[in-house]
Structure 1
Amino acid sequence: MSVQVGDPVCWQTLQEGRLFNDVLPIEGQEHAQTGHSSVHSLDFHVEDAFDDDRCDVLALLCLRNPGLTATTVATAGALVGVGEEDRTLLCRPRFAIRPDPEHLKAGRSADPSPVWRPVLIGGSRPYLRVDPAYTTTAPGDDVAARAFSRLCHRLEEALTRVRLRPGDLVLIDNHRAVHGRDPFAPRYDGTDRWLRKLTLTFDLQRSSVRRRAGSRALALS
C-alpha cells in the first residue's frame, strides 16, 4: 500500500541500510531522542530534518503495541496565527540542525556537522523542518531562539495522539507534519511496542541525482 504513495528509500547510515527500519525499545536507550527510547517521550520532529534529501512521506506499520502507546502528530495547520516577524525569522537559515545519534554510530558515514537551515520553507502554506532535540541557534541570537520556541509551543499544543493497533498503518506528510511518541515502560521480553518504518519519496530520480552529488541518502527501486 505504501508504495502507491511514493518510491521507498533508505539510509546507508541506519540499521545497515535496510529498507524497513525497526522502531522498538532498546535497553540502555530509554532516554534517547531516537525511535529506540521508551520511558522518555520522543519529541515531535520532522524525519531526518538535518538533510535536504529527507523523505516526503513516513510510513509507520504497527506490529505490536500492547499498551496502546500513542504516536503524536501535529500538522502545519498549527502555524495559523504565527506573527509576520516570527515567520520571517523562521524562514531564514539561522538554525543549526544536527543528525540524530543513530546516523552517527561507529562505522557509519553521516556528517556530524550541523547544517544551517530555515525551519519554515515557503509562504502562506510553509513546509516544516523542525527537530527541536537537535536544533540550536547561534550564540547570542536570542531573537531567533525565541521565535523557534514559540513555534515549538504552537506545535506542542496542537499534538494529536494516534493509538496504533497491530496491522494499523499511518502515513505522515514529512513536509507538513511532525510526529513523536508518548513514553511507555519497556519490558524487554519480546512483547514490547514494535513498529516498522518505511520512508518514501515522490521523485526517485531527484533522490538519485542528489545521492550522486554526495547526499547521505540511498535510494532503492
Structure 2
Amino acid sequence: MSIRDERKQQSRQALLDAALRLSTSGRSFSSISLREVAREVGLVPTAFYRHFQDMDELGQELVDQVALYLKTVLHQLGQGLAHPDAKAETSMELFFEAIDLNTQPWIFMIAERWGGSEVVRRAIAREIEFLNSDLANDLQKFEIVQNFHQADDLKMLSNILINLCFTWAMSWISLGRQYSGMELELQKLVLKKQSITQIRLIFKGILNWNTTEA
C-alpha cells in the first residue's frame, strides 16, 4: 500500500470512528450530519465524499465494523458457554471485561437497532442474522447440543443467547451510569450472578431438549 493510499485509509477510518463516537455520546446516528463528522476529524465537508457517497454508506460500513468486533466477543463467549458448569463464570467475567474495554460498539448496536435511520436498522438486522448463524455454527460442534437435530433449533438457541448478550451489555453499561464506588461493584456482582444463573438454566434445558416434543 502506498503512503497516499495509507493516508486515505486512515482518513476513512477516522470518519468511521468519529461517527461512532458522536452516535454513542447521547445522540442518534440519524441526528448526525455529514458536516459534523467531517469537522470532528478536521476535514472540510467536500473531503467526506472522497470516502463515502453519503451518511447512509458510512452507516452501513460502520455497522459492518461493529458487527465484526461483536462476532469476536460472541465467539469467545460461545466457546466458554459450551461447558456451562466449568466455564460459565469465567466466560461471563471475560464478556463483561470486553464491554468495559470497548463500550461504544455495544451502545451503537443496541441504540441503533431500533433507531431513526432505516438504512442502519436494516444493516443491523442483516448483521444480527449473520451473528446468529455464526454462533449456531460454533455451538453445533459441542457435545452439549448433540440432541439438537434441527438447524432451526440451534438458530433459536443462538438467537436467545445473542439477545441476552445485548440485554446484559445494556444493563452493565447502565450500572456505570447509575452507581459508583462500592455500590457499583455490588450491583455488578449481582448482575454477574444473575447472568450465570440464566446461562445455567438455559443449558439445563438444552440437555433435556426434544425436538419431537417441541
Instruction: Provide the TM-score with structure 2 as the length reference.
Output: 0.25
Q: Could you say which structure has the larger radius of gyration?
A: 2
Instruction: Provide the TM-score with structure 1 as the length reference.
Output: 0.24
Which structure carries more relative contact order (alpha carbon 8 Å, separation 6+)? 1
More strand as a share of residues: 1
